[in-house]
Amino acid sequence: MPGQYIKNIDITDYRNIKKANVEFSPGINIIYGENAQGKTNFMEAVWLMSGGKSFRGTKDKDMIGFDADAFRIEGTVAGENEEVKITVACAKNNPKYSGRMAKINNGAFVSPSRIAGNFYRVIFSPVHLNIISGGPALRRKFADACLCQMYPGFMENYRQYLHVIDQRNNFLKNIKNYDTDQQNAIFDTLDTTLANLGYEIYRMRKEFIQLLAEYAGSYYDKISHGREKLTFVYRDMGKTGDEILQKLVYNRDRDKILGYTSTGIHREDIDIYLDGKKAGEYASQGQQRSIVIAMKLAESDIMQQVTDVAPAVLLDDVLSELDSARQDYLLNNVKGRQVFITSCHIERIQLSESRKFYVEGGGITRRE
């Protein structure tokens, strides 16, 4: 039995789910049904209990059910020594919160980011295949989402950094309103703050990427039977606070022309190589799927190493993207964790010890 798992979840007016109450297995849970019935909506509801944003990038109020004023998700997370009740809700006309709010047990509602650390999870969905072939923002998002779960302070640090970036960009757009002395004084204040915040983010990213390279490289070596080598290179914007500051100062004139901040940790990339070639350009679809499997398994291991808790693993319609060998490898390496699997084709999932749920029209029914 895993060290932490969701015992149950109660969902009200969430997307197409009018009302649902489900008791989960601490092991493998299979959620199946036809397309567009609500399988991913259930998966997303489980995901939101960690305090994170929707993995589909949806705005909070767009997740409220049709003709409803609010949604509410309640669930019990069991640990080795205690249970906690997590509630996530969002109302259309809440004067205090513009989006989601969350609380633990009978506490007050707070920002969802403040409940991070009560439920750890890793998700693998078809969209994650874009981590390899997509732009730098997707790879930064992957690393930062992991760090936000493992280190709640990272989220606040990054939020502050982005706030200062917004201030600097607004300043650049209106820079003609300031004389030279005023410009230099404002630049000095903003750039020093960005350098200090940026260095802390860089330091944590670097540590994560080093672990990712070690763990994912090992998993990929096993998947490919040693035929190919997976490596990662962190394309940082400075290795010290002073170096980050120097680059910001050096690019001030360029930024004045562009009207935005062109250097900093918000512009970094994580290059992924297979046998020394960029995977996004040269790897086949099968190789890219194997890389993402290796990265997601590595993410799970790193999270467990840092938090001492085995995270729940959410596999959203991803098994259909994998051949039988990759399916078997993935499933064999998530044993000992709570697992959620969505699929349109339950016959393709050969798991004897699992709890099955059928989804139709937003309703969910347990099936033996």
Strands (E), the chain: 5-14, 17-23, 28-32, 70-78, 83-91, 101-104, 121-124, 230-235, 269-274, 277-278, 312-316, 339-343, 355-360, 363-367
- Rg of the chain over Cα atoms, rounded to whole angstroms, equals 22
Domain range for 60 is: 1-120+310-368
Asked whether residue 104 falls in the same domain as residue 238, the answer is: no
Task: Indicate the number of domains in the chain.
Answer: 2
Same domain, 141 and 51: no
Neighbours of 277 (CB within 10 A): 10
Tokens of 161: 């950094």
Question: Does residue 315 lie in a domain region?
Answer: yes
- The answer to whether residue 128 is domain-embedded is no
Q: Which residues of the chain carry a pLDDT beneath 70?
A: 1-3, 348, 350, 352
**Does some domain include residue 164?**
yes
Q: Is residue 356 part of a domain?
A: yes
Which of 286, 308, 330 is a domain's end point? Answer: 308
On whether both 234 and 246 belong to a single domain, the answer is yes
Same domain? 174 vs 267: yes
* Same domain, residue pair 86 and 139: no
Q: Of 259, 292, 308, which marks where a domain is finished? A: 308
* CB-CB neighbours of 200 under 10 Å: 17
Per residue in 199-230, pLDDT (tens digit) is 999 999 999 999 999 999 999 999 988 999 99
Do 283 and 141 lie in one domain? The reply is yes
Shared domain check, 290 and 154: yes
- Scanning the structure block, which residue is given the tokens 């989804």? 359
> Residue 290 is inside which H or E element, if any?
helix 285-307
Asked if residue 279 and residue 259 are part of one domain, the reply reads yes
Kindly state whether residue 125 falls inside one of the protein's structural domains: no
Instruction: Answer whether residue 127 is part of any domain.
Output: no
Q: Are residues 160 and 266 in the same domain?
A: yes
C-alpha closest to that of 40 among 344, 297, 366? 344
The span from the CA of 10 to the CA of 24, in Å, is 11
Q: What is the pLDDT of residue 1?
A: 46
Which DSSP category does 95 fall into? S
- pTM here is 0.88
pLDDT value at residue 2: 58
CATH assignment of the domain containing 62 = 3.40.50.300
Q: Find tokens 């994998």 and name the residue.
A: 322
Per the CB < 8 A criterion, the answer to whether 86 and 7 are in contact is no
pLDDT, one tens digit per residue, over 53-64 is 888 878 899 999
| Domain boundary, last residue among 283, 308, 333 | 308
Is 259 found in the same domain as 364? no
Domain contains 354: yes
Tell me: do 155 and 232 sit in the same domain. Answer: yes
Does the residue 126 lie in any domain?
A: no
Asked if residue 168 and residue 235 are part of one domain, the reply reads yes
